[in-house]
Amino acid sequence: MTLSIRHDWSIEEIQGLLELPLMELLWQAQNVHREANPGYRVQLASLLSVKTGGCEEDCAYCSQSIHNSSDVSAFEAQMQVEPILQRAKAAKDAGADRFCMGWAWREIRDGAPFEAMLEMVRGVRAMGMEACVTAGMLSDHQAQRLAAAGLTAYNHNLDTSPEHYDRIISTRTYQERLETLQRVRQAGVTLCCGGIIGMGETLRDRASMLQVLAGMDPHPESVPVNGLVAVEGTPLEGQAPFEPLDLVRMVATARILMPRSRVRLSAGRESMNREAQILCLQAGADSIFYGDTLLTTGNPDVDADRQLLNDAGVQAAWTEKTALATAPSN
Ligand code: SAM
Ligand code: DTB
Ligand code: SF4
């Protein structure tokens, strides 16, 4: 089978995939996944919050917004490069292949914390790991400096569909998100861009978000699929839990739409049983966040994840895939 890479999916086509009988959807996703990822390798990415809380944006799901009243402990290590690199080394020793660092900022500002960020990126790359940063909006010049420091990927999510977006965030527009992504792409850094389910969106919203992602050329090299972690103190704290099989469907559909991207099974695994997580791997997820915490919330512990991968019969992947996905299609 030759994988066809398309950027012109309609919302109806994508919704049609999301609505397929589960077995049929899994079969289609499996065919794509086996071709794109022989051997079912899964990338292990560790996540660390370098600057926690105090963010000016009002994202309704986020514990770190000043507009919400969640209790997050401020881990102020943004100027301290060494402790962060020690955490990166520990992640590498535990088997991680990618180290992702988060700053709860509306946008990056120039100055000492940004210089420290560049040092952290250089240090992680020098250890032989991929380095990913998520820190809000940035300028062209900042994107270029991150690229020069060796940054592998910049994470900036769409979060939801353009239609549902206004119910989730008011302080930053969808268009601003797309412009940030464009700046990252132009600087030659790969994109990590995905979204969240379980925030009261419709099936059409899910299809619409996937359409924006699949419409990007090239596709984002990494597509995180998050299930909402309903954090106390956020406007979404009372949201009904997402249905794990819906996350399986999102992963499978993302895999069909973006055959060569890494589809990253991200937040929400703590509210899924092992079998649902294994279904996500079967549906085409080829990366997980690995380590006991995400940014401010929990994640399955390392031993449980080793056991999970072992029981699923999949191996950890190494870095060769990012380069493959970066090549523009046709
Ligand atoms: N300020 C940066 C930004 O928004 O780009 C930094 C990190 S932000 C926390 C990264 C992403 O994590 C968000 O865009 C969102 O998709 C996801 N996320 C944050 N809180 C979440 C939650 N409670 N449940 C699920 N996903 C979440
Ligand atoms: C992404 O899409 N998910 C990760 C990563 N990118 C930065 C973050 C998940 C955060 C979950 C909530 C928390 O721990 O605060
Ligand atoms: Fe700030 Fe990012 Fe949280 Fe939004 S998701 S409030 S931008 S840290």
Taking the C-alpha atoms of residue 106 and residue 104, their distance in angstroms, rounded to an integer, is: 7
Q: At 48, which helix (H) or strand (E)?
A: strand 41-51
Active site residue 264: yes
Q: Which residue out of 250, 251, 266 has the highest number of ligand 2 atoms within 8 Å of its CB and is therefore the one to mutate?
A: 266
Residue 191 host element (H or E): strand 190-192
Res 309 pLDDT > 80: yes
Distance CA 238, CA 249 (A): 23
pLDDT in tens, 242-301: 999 999 999 999 999 999 999 999 999 999 999 999 999 999 999 999 999 999 999 999
Residue 193 falls in the annotated catalytic set: no
Q: What pLDDT is stored for residue 136 in this prediction?
A: 97
Task: Quickly name the fold that domain 11-310 has.
Answer: TIM Barrel (3.20.20)
Q: Is the pLDDT of residue 322 over 80?
A: no
Report d(CA 284, CA 291) in Å as an integer. 21
Residue reference for tokens 């601003």: 176
Q: Does the beta carbon of 65 lie inside 6 Å of ligand 3?
A: yes
Sorted by sequence, the CB contacts under 8 Å of residue 183 that are 6+ apart come out as: 138, 139, 140, 143
**282 C-alpha to ligand 1 centroid (Å):** 25
Please identify, by atom number, the ligand 3 atom nearest to the C-alpha of residue 102: 8
Ligand 2, residue 196: give the atom nearest the CA: 2
Distance 194 CA to ligand 3 centre (A): 14
User: Shortest CA distance to 321 belongs to which of 144, 156, 152?
Assistant: 152
Of ligand 3's atoms, which has the minimum distance to the CA of residue 57?
A: 6
d(CA 51, CA 104): 6
What pLDDT sits at residue 39?
Answer: 78
141 Cα–ligand 3 center, Å: 22
Catalytic site residue from 87, 132, 185, 262: 132
Contacts with 166 (C-beta within 8 Å, 6 or more apart), sequence order = none
pLDDT tens string 115-158: 999 999 999 999 999 999 999 999 999 999 999 999 999 999 99
How far is 306 from 138, CA to CA, in rounded Å? 36
Residue 202: C-alpha distances to residues 88, 163, 197, 209, 246 (Å)? 38, 10, 9, 11, 12
pLDDT tens readout for residues 59-110: 999 999 999 998 886 556 667 899 999 999 999 999 999 999 999 999 999 9
Catalytic residue, candidates 98, 185, 192, 255? 192
- 41: number of Cβ within 10 Å: 16
Stretch 40-53: mean pLDDT, rounded?
94
d(CA 100, CA 12): 34
Identify the residue whose C-alpha is closest to ligand 2 atom 15. 296
Quote the DSSP letter at residue 51.
E
Give the number of the atom of ligand 3 that is nearest the alpha carbon of residue 134. 2
In this structure, the residues whose C-beta lies within 6 A of any atom of ligand 2 are 47, 63, 100, 102, 134, 155, 157, 194, 224, 226, 229, 266-267, 294-297
**What's the burial of 220, exposed, middle or buried (CB within 10 Å: 0-12/13-18/19+)?**
buried
